[in-house]
Amino acid sequence: MNVVELTNSGLYCAAGDFYIDPWRPVRDSIITHGHSDHARVGGELYHCTKTSEPILRHRLGADILLRAYDYGKPFKMKDATVSFHPAGHVLGSAQVRVEVNGEVWVISGDYKRSPDSSCEPFEVVPCDTFISEATFGLPVYAWPTSQAVAADIFKWWQEYKEGPSLLFAYAFGKTQRILSELGHLTDQTVYLHGSCETLTKIYRDQGIKMVPTKLVSDMPKEYKFNGDLVLAPPSGHRSSWMKRFKDPQTAFASGWMQIRGNRRRRGYERGFVLSDHADWKDLVSTIIQTGAKRVLLTHGNTDTLERYLREEKHIQAEPLATQFEGEAEA
Amino acid sequence: MQLFAEMFEKVDQTTGTNEKVAALVAYFQKAPLHDKVWATLLLRGRVKRSPLTSLRMRQVFQRLSGTPRWLMDECFSHVGDTGETLALLMNAGMLALDPKPKERSLNEWMTEELVGLRTLGDEDLDRRLLEIWNSAHPEHWFLINKLLTGSFRVGVSEKLVLKALSKVTGDSESVWHQWLMGKSDRDFEELLLTFQGQAPSKELLHAIPFCLASPLEESFFVNEKPEDYFAEWKWDGIRSQIIKKGDQIFIWSRGEEMVTEAFPEIAQMASTWAEDVILDGELLVWGEDKPRDFNDLQQRLGRKKLGPDILKKAPVSFMAYDLLHLNGEDFTALTLAERRTKLESFSGTRTHPRYRMSQLVEFTSWDQVKELQLQSRELGTEGLMLKNKHSLYVTGRKRGNWWKFKVQPYTLDAVLLYAQAGTGKRSNLFTDYTFALWHGDKLVPFAKAYSGLDNKEIEELDRWIRRNTLEKFGPVRSLKTHHVFEIAFEGIANSTRHKSGIAVRFPRILRWRRDKTVDAADKLEDAQKLIEAHV
Query: Residue B227 domain-assigned?
Result: yes
pLDDT, mean of residues A270-292: 97
Residue B204 is predicted with a pLDDT of 47
Residue-wise pLDDT tens digits, B294-315 = 777 777 775 555 677 777 778 8
Residue B305 is predicted with a pLDDT of 57
Question: β-strand A270-272 against A103-107: which pairing, if any?
Answer: unpaired
Q: Does A309 lie at the interface with B, CB-CB under 8 angstroms?
A: no
Give the mean pLDDT of chain A: 95
Q: Does A44 lie at the interface with B, CB-CB under 8 angstroms?
A: no
Query: Residue B253 domain-assigned?
Result: yes
Domain count, chain B: 3
Residue B260 is predicted with a pLDDT of 81
Residue-wise pLDDT tens digits, A285-315 = 999 999 999 999 998 889 999 999 999 999 9
Residue-wise pLDDT tens digits, B145-158 = 999 999 898 888 88
pLDDT, mean of residues B222-243: 93
CA distance B479 to chain A (A): 17
Residue B303 is predicted with a pLDDT of 59
Q: Quote the CA–CA distance of B409 and B382 in Å, as a whole number.
A: 9
Interface probe for B, chosen from A37, A135, A138, A275 (most Cβ of B below 10 Å), is A138
Residue B154 is predicted with a pLDDT of 86
The most confident of A169-183, A314-328, B442-456, by mean pLDDT: A169-183
Is residue B349's pLDDT more than 70?
A: yes
Inspect the interface and report whether the beta carbons of B93 and A312 lie closer than 8 Å: no
B47 and B35 fall within a common domain? yes
Inspect the interface and report whether the beta carbons of B13 and A281 lie closer than 8 Å: no
Confidence tier at A329 by pLDDT (50, 70, 90): low
Q: Which one-letter amino acid corresponds to residue B359?
A: Q
Q: Which domain holds residue B307?
A: 211-406
> In this structure, what CATH number is given to the domain that contains residue B277?
3.30.470.30
> In this structure, what CATH number is given to the domain that contains residue B104?
1.10.3260.10
Q: Does A142 lie at the interface with B, CB-CB under 8 angstroms?
A: yes
CA distance B81 to chain A (A): 9
CA distance B411 to chain A (A): 28
- Calculate what percentage of chain B has a pLDDT beyond 90: 57
Q: Does A288 lie at the interface with B, CB-CB under 8 angstroms?
A: no
B439 and B376 fall within a common domain? no
Give the mean pLDDT of chain B: 89
Domain boundary at B361, B386, B406, which? B406
Q: Hey, where are the domains in chain A?
A: 5-140+277-319, 146-272
Inspect the interface and report whether the beta carbons of A140 and B425 lie closer than 8 Å: no
Count of other CB atoms within 10 angstroms of residue B122: 11
Q: Quote the CA–CA distance of A28 and A15 in Å, as a whole number.
A: 13
CA distance B424 to chain A (A): 5
> In this structure, what CATH number is given to the domain that contains residue B518?
2.40.50.140
pLDDT, mean of residues A31-58: 96
- Which positions 75-94 of A are in contact with B (Cβ < 8 Å)? none
Residue of B nearest to A251 (CA): B13
For B58-73, b where at least 16 C-beta lie within 10 A, e where not — what string? Answer: bbbbbebbebeeebbe
Q: Quote the CA–CA distance of A137 and A305 in Å, as a whole number.
A: 6
B372 and B456 fall within a common domain? no
CA distance A209 to chain B (A): 31
B25 and B48 fall within a common domain? yes
Nearest to A269 among B15, B425, B427 (CB): B15
Residue-wise pLDDT tens digits, B206-216 = 788 899 998 88
Q: Quote the CA–CA distance of B136 and B146 in Å, as a whole number.
A: 13
CA distance A118 to chain B (A): 25
For B183-196, b where at least 16 C-beta lie within 10 A, e where not — what string? Answer: bbbebbeebeebbe
pLDDT, mean of residues A78-101: 98
Residue of B nearest to A139 (CA): B89
CATH number for the segment(s) A5-140+277-319: 3.60.15.10
CA distance B161 to chain A (A): 20
What are the residues facing A81 on neighbouring strands?
A: A76, A99
Q: Identify all chain A residues contacting B79, using CB atoms and an 8 Å cutoff.
A: 140, 259, 261
Query: Residue B451 domain-assigned?
Result: yes
The three-state secondary structure class of B214 is strand
Q: What is the CA radius of gyration of chain A?
A: 20
Q: Quote the CA–CA distance of A11 and A24 in Å, as a whole number.
A: 11
CA distance A247 to chain B (A): 10
> Is the distance from CB of A42 to CB of A59 less than 8 angstroms?
no
Nearest to B13 among A269, A311, A312 (CB): A269
Query: For chains A and B, what is the number of CB pairs under 8 angstroms?
Result: 74
Q: Identify all chain A residues contacting B455, using CB atoms and an 8 Å cutoff.
A: 265
Confidence tier at B534 by pLDDT (50, 70, 90): low
Residue-wise pLDDT tens digits, A137-155 = 999 999 999 999 999 999 9
Nearest to A259 among B15, B70, B427 (CB): B427
Residue A205 is predicted with a pLDDT of 96
B321 and B429 fall within a common domain? no
Nearest to B428 among A142, A262, A279 (CB): A262
Helices and strands (H, E) in chain A, number of each type: 7, 19
Inspect the interface and report whether the beta carbons of B427 and A138 lie closer than 8 Å: no
Nearest to B71 among A139, A256, A267 (CB): A139
Domain boundary at B108, B123, B149, which? B149
- Calculate what percentage of chain A has a pLDDT beyond 90: 89
pTM for this model (two decimals): 0.73
Is residue A114's pLDDT more than 80?
A: yes
Residue of A nearest to B425 (CA): A261
B contact set with A (CB within 8 A): 12-15, 67-68, 70-71, 74-75, 78-81, 84-85, 88-89, 91-94, 155, 423-429, 455, 459
Residue-wise pLDDT tens digits, B383-415 = 999 999 999 998 777 777 899 998 888 899 999
Helix axis angle, B17-30 relative to B33-43, nearest 10°?
150
Q: Does A312 lie at the interface with B, CB-CB under 8 angstroms?
A: yes
Interface probe for B, chosen from A143, A262, A265 (most Cβ of B below 10 Å), is A265
Burial (Cβ within 10 Å: 0-12, 13-18, ≥19) of residue B45: middle
CA distance B449 to chain A (A): 18
Nearest to A138 among B12, B75, B429 (CB): B75
CA distance B66 to chain A (A): 11
Is residue B203's pLDDT more than 60?
A: no
Q: What is the CA radius of gyration of chain B?
A: 26
Is residue A330's pLDDT more than 60?
A: no
DSSP per residue, B130-190? HHHHHHS-GGGHHHHHHHHTT----S--HHHHHHHHHHHH---HHHHHHHHTT--GGGHHH
CA distance B470 to chain A (A): 14
Q: Identify all chain A residues contacting B424, using CB atoms and an 8 Å cutoff.
A: 261, 264
Domain boundary at B406, B431, B450, which? B406
DSSP per residue, B35-101? HHHHHHHHHTT-----SS-HHHHHHHHHHHH---HHHHHHHHHHH--HHHHHHHHHHTT-S------
Q: Identify all chain A residues contacting B429, using CB atoms and an 8 Å cutoff.
A: 265
B75 and B14 fall within a common domain? yes
Is residue A319's pLDDT more than 80?
A: yes
Residue-wise pLDDT tens digits, A199-257 = 999 999 999 999 999 999 999 999 999 999 999 999 999 888 998 999 999 999 999 99
B239 and B378 fall within a common domain? yes
Residue B70 is predicted with a pLDDT of 94
Residue of B nearest to A143 (CA): B92
Q: Does A259 lie at the interface with B, CB-CB under 8 angstroms?
A: yes
What are the residues facing B418 on neighbouring strands?
A: B434, B478
- Calculate what percentage of chain A has a pLDDT beyond 70: 99
Inspect the interface and report whether the beta carbons of A307 and B429 lie closer than 8 Å: no
Nearest to A265 among B81, B85, B426 (CB): B426
More confident site: B534 or A217:
A217
Inspect the interface and report whether the beta carbons of A304 and B429 lie closer than 8 Å: no
Output DSSP code: residue B209: P
Query: Residue B185 domain-assigned?
Result: no
Inspect the interface and report whether the beta carbons of A262 and B427 lie closer than 8 Å: yes
> Is the distance from CB of B140 to CB of B1 less than 8 angstroms?
yes
Is residue B202's pLDDT more than 60?
A: no
CA distance B180 to chain A (A): 28
Task: Identify the H or E element spanning A6.
Answer: strand A5-7
B134 and B244 fall within a common domain? no
Q: Identify all chain B residues contacting A311, using CB atoms and an 8 Å cutoff.
A: 68
Nearest to A138 among B12, B78, B93 (CB): B78
Q: What do you get for the CA distance between the two ends of chain B, in Å?
A: 57
Is residue B200's pLDDT more than 90?
A: no
Nearest to A304 among B74, B91, B427 (CB): B74
Q: Identify all chain A residues contacting B432, using CB atoms and an 8 Å cutoff.
A: none
> Is the distance from CB of B396 to CB of B211 less than 8 angstroms?
yes
Query: Among residues A330, A268, A327, A329, which one has the least CA distance to residue A134?
Result: A327
Confidence tier at B426 by pLDDT (50, 70, 90): confident
Inspect the interface and report whether the beta carbons of B428 and A261 lie closer than 8 Å: yes
CATH number for the segment(s) A146-272: 3.40.50
